[in-house]
Structures are given as structure tokens and as C-alpha cells.
Amino acid sequence: MLTMLLCITGSAFAQKTREQLEKEKSENQSKIREIQNILKQTSSQKNVNLGQLKALNQQINTYKKQIDLLSDDLDLLDSELKVLEKRKQKLDSSLAKLKEEYGHMIYEASKRNAYFNQLVFLFSAGTFNQFVLRYKYLKQYTEARQGQAKEIEALQTKVVAERQRITAKKNQQKNVLNTRVTESTKLEGLKVKQNEVIQELSQKEVELRRQIAENKRATDLLEANIRRIAERERRERLERERREREEREARRKAERERIARENAEREKKGEAAIVVAPKEEEPIDVSGMSAEENTLASSFTASQSRLPWPVRGFVSGHFGQRPHAVLKGVMVDNLGVDIQTPAGELVKAVYDGVVLDVTEMPGMGNVVAIQHGNYMTIYAKMTGVIVRAGQKVKARENIGKVAPGGDGTSELQFQIWKNTSRLNPENWLMRR
């Protein structure tokens, strides 16, 4: 019983692992197709560009992952095949044992039949009770033989089924191996293409440095605008906090004056003065945020690593300072992440909030800033914006489209800020 339980548990675990592996393979295959579409767009340009190189790099990474997953699949198939082989061996052993027992029974029965007549055996009984007992014995013996025959037949069916499963599993293993070889061939082709693009881009150092300088100017302008928005919000919050303090102080003063008037009247009448117990001071939110903004900020904080992506695609430019993809010794700084995607892709808000600002900036296209309490999400390099400042938006609500890039590369620049501090969006977006 313990052995059977262990086999069932092991089988369930393998099944769970199989489902997980198939899911990962399917998701990664979808990424490969998605990047192929993006690569097709960037490759349609006459001249190679950085976007094409980024898409190639990402495609290579996804193919590497797919090959790793296929290797895991082969390992899993091997272990599944071993389980099936062991199960078949046990069935073969049980079948051989049953056949041996059945053969022995038939042999013994044939020997008895040579000198044993069942009718004589029955009617030679001395009493009726003895007759019944002999009849039952003969019946049980016959049923036992028939039962063994059926059991042998059932085991033979199981053996055939296991043999078919093993054959199917071996064919599956062969198909996965062929797929891995095909994917490896594609990977090598992509690496050749990657080297060609790098070599061609390396010859365009002057143009690349010009692009870096232009991007730096656009990024600095965008950062200054974001800090201006953040400073404006800070001043507005401080102003709200000041008004709240003044209103609270005015209410306290009015209450003190009312009690003083009542006590003066009571004193004239010879009545005891009103004694007011000191009230506990109501806390003032030093952040200056409203209750609604505080709630929104708290829920946004709790959504770390669970925010939906603003567009389909892949991260083509990571957060912070990174080495340039081609130029050695050159570092580039990213305020957020670049997400490469087809031009015209719909851009969606990643969380509920209020649109703080919509503006157009050189090198950044349309820029939308959405407030989530003391957090801000920034969406740049857009076109066809359909929201306006002051408008409330919901998570996954469409706010515009990704603008086409000048070199055929379309990217959304996405940022997350908390007050005046920039955060790494990859720590906030859902894992893909």
C-alpha cells in the first residue's frame, strides 16, 4: 500500500511539473512571436538601427530560454519514461506469475480429470449435506480458474496499454529533441545577424553619439518637467495643510470664545462655570494628502510587482545607468524603462489615478503624468492622447498610442516616481 501511495504521489508531482513546464513553454513561445513582429518592423528600415539590435538581443534571450525549457522537457520525459518502464516491468512480472499459477492449476486439473469423474464425486456422497459441500467446492474451483483467466486477460490489456504509452513517450521525446535542434539552429542564425548589426552600427559612431546627445537633452527636459510637476504638487499639498491648520485653529478659537461668553452669562446668574476637559489633538497628515489620496497611495504601494504592463512588448532599455549597446566605455542613464512595441500600440494606465499633466516635448512626443497619491506614473513617446489634466482614470484604461520612432523603432518610455524620487519600474510591473 505504501509503495502504491508513493507511486501515485510521484505521478501527481510529475503531472504538476509537466503542466508548469508546458505553460512556461507556451508563454515563452508567445514572447518569441511578439518579438518577431517587432523585429519585422525594425528590420523593414533600409539602415540598421539600435532598435533592431535590441530586438535581436531580446529574441536571442527568448530562444535561449526556450532551448533551456526544451532541455528541461527532455529531462522530464526521461524521468516519465523510467516510471512507465518500471510500471511495465511490474505488470510483466505479475502477468508471468499469474500465468505460472494458472498453468499449474490447469496441469493439476488435467491430472485429476484422468481418474476423477465429477458426477461420480458428487453422487458418491453419503449424505445430502455432503453432496452440497462437494458441489460448492467444485463450483468455487471452477470460478477460481475463470477468475484467474480474466485477471490474466486484464493484465495483458494493461501491459499493451503501457507499451503504447512508452512508445508515445519515446516519440514525444524524439519530437522535443528535433525541436530543440531546430531552435538551436535558429539561435545560431540570430547570433550571426546580431554580429552583423553590431559591426554595421560600430561604423556609425558619430551618428550614435549624436543620438545619445539628443536623447540626453530630451531626458533632461523630461526630468525637469516631472520635477516641476512634483514641486507643484508639493506646494499644493503644503497649502492644503496650511489651510487645514488655520481652519482647525479658527474652530478652536471660536469654541473658546463661545465658552467664555457662556461662562460670563453664568457668572452673572451666579451659576458655576463650564469646565471643558481638554480634547485630544486630531492628527494632521504631514504629507498634506487627502484621505482619498492616502488610500490610493497605500493601495499603489501594495501593488508592487503586480502592476499590469502599459503596453505589450519587451524592456529594451533598463532603469538607471547602463553601458551603451554598441559604444564601449559609454554609459547611458534611463529615468525609467523603454518598452519596445509596434507603433500605434494602445497605451494603458497601470493603476487608478488622476491625470496631472499632458504635454508635448521635443524627443519625447506626448507625455502623460498620472498621480496615484504621492506616486506618479509617466508615459512618454506617445501620440493620440485621449485624456486631459484633472481627469480620473482607471487601471488598464486606454490613454493614447505609442508614437512611431524616427528610425522605425517604437518605444514607450515608462517611469514611476514617489514624490521626487524615481523608482525602477521593473520592480513594480508583473513578471513576464
SS3 for 71?
helix
pTM of the prediction? 0.69
SS3 content of the chain, % helix, strand, coil (to 5): 60, 15, 25
- pLDDT tens digits, one per residue of 366-379: 999 999 998 999 99
pLDDT over 60 at 232, yes or no: yes
Q: Which of 81, 73, 97, 93 is nearest to 162 (CA)?
A: 81
pLDDT over 70 at 7, yes or no: no
Per-residue pLDDT, averaged over 152-176, amounts to 75
pLDDT-derived band at 282 (thresholds 50, 70, 90) equals low
All three cell numbers of 299, joined, read: 493601495
d(CA 417, CA 424): 9
In terms of CATH architecture, what is 18-202?
A: Orthogonal Bundle (1.10)
CATH code: domain 205-233+304-427 is: 2.70.70.10
Higher pLDDT, 83 or 91: 83
pLDDT over 50 at 1, yes or no: no
State the pLDDT at residue 21: 83
Let me know: does 314 contact 339? Beta carbons within 8 Å: yes
All three cell numbers of 219, joined, read: 531626458
Domain boundaries, the chain: 18-202, 205-233+304-427
Q: Which of 67, 83, 78, 72 is nearest to 178 (CA)?
A: 67
28-32, 53-57, 118-122, 308-312: range with lowest mean pLDDT: 118-122
**Helix/strand/coil (H/E/C) assignment for every residue in 302-319:** CCCCCECCCCCCEEEECC
